[in-house]
Each structure stands twice: as structure tokens, then as C-alpha cells.
Chain A
Amino acid sequence: MSTNKIAKDLENFDDGVLDAMINEARSGIERDLQLIRRPEARVGVISSPVGRLLVAESDRGLATIHFLSMDAGERTLELLRKKFDLIENEASTRRVGAEIDRLFKGDFSVLAHRVDLSVVESDFQRRALTLLRTVPPGAVITYQGLAAAVGHPNSQRAIGTTMATNPVPIFVPCHRVIKSDGTIGNYGGGVENKLKLLRAEGFTVGRDLRLPSGAVMGHRKTRIFCRPECSAARRAGKASSLYFADAQSAGKAGLRACKLCRPA
């Protein structure tokens, strides 16, 4: 029996019949899909001063920024696919690229861009990332300080993991988190990019990758900044302590100098 004969004998569903059946079935599919449909995210690759970035943006805000200099982003795409229907849209992601360029020219208002932390599963991580956005440009916080701010003062390692898996670096500024011993620490996009971002925000780090010698410690609640060795700074607690590269930066952020240690 030839193939053609089989096809001829059984080919009794023309396209019109099939289309009618598909149209009837489609309404049911649409109805059921509405219940389980994932939100859309627009994905694209952009160039930036910190290298090639894979960017995803949903209607709720930036969902992912991935440094492609580190890896091809397969794992990132896998996580995104679980939460979003991905659509390639370079026009949308190009806008994000323009905002990053403006950030490097000193326009920090772009950091107010909304972020969508849907890919973050844990409440602790979501809280840490949200709190981190309150650290102003030009200041840094320690892993331990951020852990204390979240309410778990001994969870600095968990904060480290949270920073390493931060889905939206740059806009959720994990580059502003350093080690308690004053060293700059690591970064998901490479230490060089961490330094570039800090430098763009006016926080200059020495060649030894440590806090500069003139760094001051600012207190977010009292709005006072001190020398790190000041007794008042030690009493202030880590949860609301930030480091500024120098007294001028702290002054620009609206903090006043401590009257005990009189930082320059």
C-alpha cells in the first residue's frame, strides 16, 4: 500500500473543518490559560560600561540584569522562564541601557527604576534586597550591617548568598555591600565592575581594595557621621551604620559631623 494511497484515503479533514474545530477549542484554551498565565517579561542584551548585560523587564519593573562577562546566563534564563513568558524586545531593554549610561554620568535618579523581585523566593532575601535600596549612592554598608538591618544580626553569610543571587544588580545596589574588615569583598559581576560602579557613585577605593583612610561612618537614624574609631560610632549599632568615602560625601548625603570626634 503506497503512502499516497493512505494519505488520499484518509485525507478527509480539510483546513476549513480543522479551523472550525480549532476555533471552537480555542475559547476553552483561552479561558483556562487565563487562570495560569504567567506575566510577560521583555528580554534583550545591551552594552553598558560594565560590559554586556542580559536584561529582563516585566510590567512591574526590572526583573533581571545578568553580567554576560561571567557566564552565558542559561541559569538566569531558566529562572526567568519559570516566572515569566519571555519575549525578545530590544527596544525596551535599550532604555535600561540608556539609564545605566546616565548613572555613569552621575544621574542617580535612574536608580529609582521599579524592580520586580518575583524570581526571589525567600522573604528574607526579598527584605534584604528591598532594604539595600535605601542605602544612598556614595555610601556602603557591611554584610553584617545589612543582616542586622534585616533583623538577623548573625546572618551575614545568608546576606552574602542573597547578594550573590541578586537578580537585579546595579538597580538593587549589591555593589554597595562590603566586608566588615573594610575590604571591598566580591561581586557577582566581577570585582572590577564593583569598583567601577562605586567610583561612578563617588566612592573611591584605594589600590589595596580597602576602605579609604579618610572613610567615615554615618548613622542613618541620628544623621551624624563619625570617625570609625569614635566611641559614639561604636555605640550606634551596625543596623543603621553606613560608610562614606570621606566627610564631604557624608555631608552631601545630609549628615552632620560628630561633635566628639570631629571628623574633618
Chain B
Amino acid sequence: MREMQPDGCAARRIKYHDSRIGLSGVIDSVMGRTYELRIPPPFDVAVKSMEREIMRFLMRSTGDREDAKDLFQETWLRAYRAYPTLKSEDGLRPWIFRIAANLCRNRVRDRMRRTRVIINASANGVENALCASVSSSTRGGPENALHLKRSIARLPGKQGQALMMRKFAGLEYAEIGAALNCSVESARASVYQALQKLKADE
């Protein structure tokens, strides 16, 4: 039986019935047991189906093209190494987002540490990163876009990522919860709080 997932990955499933043969050598009972053989899609197929949304998410999270490309590579390499631990295709999307989100968080933390040592000034690395990116990627763009990016950058890490996953990557709350290692309610609350803060900033 084959199904199509919303993201285009074919869920490849085989369903079959088996009979149990007794030790006497005669089929003494037939049990209609159903097994499922569930294999995640080949890695290259997974990459192909999700590369744009991951790149878009990384671009939004880092705000810098070079950083996004670096993290994009790192995300897929990590995903490949850990791919054998993925049991089926159901959890693939939040799983990849979780890797990407963790890498973004690490990158921001590293940058904050480095920034402190060198110039000992900025308290918010994300904001710096995003402001830098705005100047490079949306130079001459609308003023409110710059303001909005600054506002998003000022959001706490989890709220910012939850907002981006929900509003730009279109993930379900359950998927966001899986990606950020929190409950569905917590994911929903993070997005709500982020939106409230953006409204207050306006």
C-alpha cells in the first residue's frame, strides 16, 4: 500500500498477511497477522523534498547567506549520519528542522561568545546577525521589513524559531513541538507570545 505525504515523499509501505505453521508440519492454525515494513525514504529523496524549506528556514534564522549555506551543509551531513536512527518517514520533517534549529542556536551562541571577546559590546548576537544580513540582502528594501527583522531578532530563541517554523515554513504545532523538543501546547504558546511581542513592538 502506498500513500503520498503532503510534502511529496512517497510513504512506501508493504502490507501482507502471514500464516503460522505449527511444529507438527501441518498448518494447524492460520492467524491473519498484519505486519508493516516501514522504511524511511532514501536520503537523497528526503534532501530533494525538503531542501528549499530548510534553506529558507536557515536563511531566516541566520540572516546571512554564507552562514545559511554552511548550516545547510552541516544540517544534511548530520542528518545523514543519524539517518539510521530514524524509524519511519513520519517524523522526518520535524526531525530535520530540529537539527537545523539546533545548529542555528549553536551558531548564534558561538557568535555571541566571539563577539564578546573581540568588541565586548553586543548583548544580542542574533540581532547583529540579522541586521548585518538586512544590509546585505535587503538593502534598499522597505523600512518596515528592517524593523520587523529587528523585532524578530529580539525575540527569545525558542519563540523566534517557533514563529519562523509556523509562519514561514508552515509546520504544524505538533511538528514544531517535535523540532524544538517541547509539547504541542508549549509550541503554540511560543508562537502566540512571539506574535504578541511583535504587535507590542509595532
Residues of A that sit less than 8 Å from B by CB: 1, 3, 6-7, 9-13, 15, 18-19, 21-22, 24-25, 28-29, 32-33, 36-37, 43-45, 51-52, 54, 68-69, 72-73, 77-78, 81-82, 85-88, 190-193, 195
Q: How far is the CB of B21 from chain A (nearest CB, A)?
A: 5
The complex places the Cα of A240 from the Cα of B77 at a distance, in Å, of 49
Q: Interface majority SS on A: helix, strand, loop or mixed?
A: helix
The complex places the Cα of A36 from the Cα of B73 at a distance, in Å, of 14
Evaluate contact between A1 and B202: CB separation under 8 angstroms.
yes
Of B90-98, B101-109, B144-152, the segment with at least 4 beta carbons within 8 Å of chain A is B144-152
Evaluate contact between B59 and A192: CB separation under 8 angstroms.
no
Please give the number of chain B residues whose Cβ is less than 8 angstroms from any Cβ of chain A in the complex.
49
7 nearest A-B residue pairs (beta carbon): A81-B84, A72-B35, A25-B69, A9-B145, A25-B72, A82-B84, A28-B73
Which one of B16, B20, B72, B148 lies within 8 Å of A22 (CB-CB)? B72
Q: Which residue of B lies closest to A79 (CB)?
A: B84
Q: Which residue of B lies closest to A87 (CB)?
A: B42
List B contacts of A15 (CB < 8 A): 52
The complex places the Cα of A72 from the Cα of B47 at a distance, in Å, of 28
Q: B139-174 CB contact bits vs A (8 Å, 1 = yes)?
A: 001101100110010000000000000011000000
Q: List 5 A-B contacts (CB under 8 A).
A: A13-B56, A29-B76, A32-B73, A54-B37, A68-B35
Chain B 7-41 interface residues, beta-carbon cutoff 8 Å to A: 12, 14, 16, 18-23, 25, 35-37, 39
